[in-house]
Amino acid sequence: MPRRDSQLRLPLPAPPRAEDQPLVPVRMVNEWIYCPRLAYLMWVEGEWAETADTSAGKRAHARADAGGGSLPAADEADETTDEGAEEDLARKARAVTLSSDRLGLIARIDVVEVEGRRVIPVV
């Protein structure tokens, strides 16, 4: 049986994003995998039907969506803090937005922890 990683691939770079094109929310990629028609209705047509589950999810995410905390700039992160030092304690940041013009994607991470130079998404 052939191994999955031996499958041939054709690397194609994404075309450059035009300035007038919006970044696609990463969530829409997930929706497209699940159901392309639903993704089209949500992203292009702007149709959305609130359900009990989505309403409960909105309430559960209210704290994370409010934002808070901050991430240090990459050049400000301390590489050499001693273990156990007070400044080495994990800091949290909420509603962190990441985007990539190269990929044409944008995402918001609910909560991330910063430990020294490591940034870890909290699941």
Could you report the per-residue pLDDT of 19-68, keeping only the tens digit for each?
Answer: 788 898 998 998 999 999 988 998 889 888 888 988 888 888 777 777 77
How far apart, in Å, do the first and last CA atoms of the chain sit?
35
Distance CA 100, CA 14 (A): 12
What tokens appear for 111 in the block? 């909560």
Q: What is the rounded average pLDDT of the residues 64-76?
A: 70
- The helix (H) or strand (E) run that includes residue 40 is helix 36-43
Kindly list the domain boundaries of the chain, sorted by start residue: 21-73+87-121
- Whether the model clears a pTM of 0.75, i.e. scores above it, the answer is no
The b-or-e profile of 82-114 (16+ CB within 10 A means b, else e) is eeeeeeeeeeebbbbeeeeeeebbbebbebbeb
Q: What is the rounded average pLDDT of the residues 75-94?
A: 59
pLDDT (0 to 100) of residue 120: 85
Q: Of the ranges 16-20, 38-42, 74-78, 80-84, which one carries the lowest mean pLDDT score?
A: 80-84
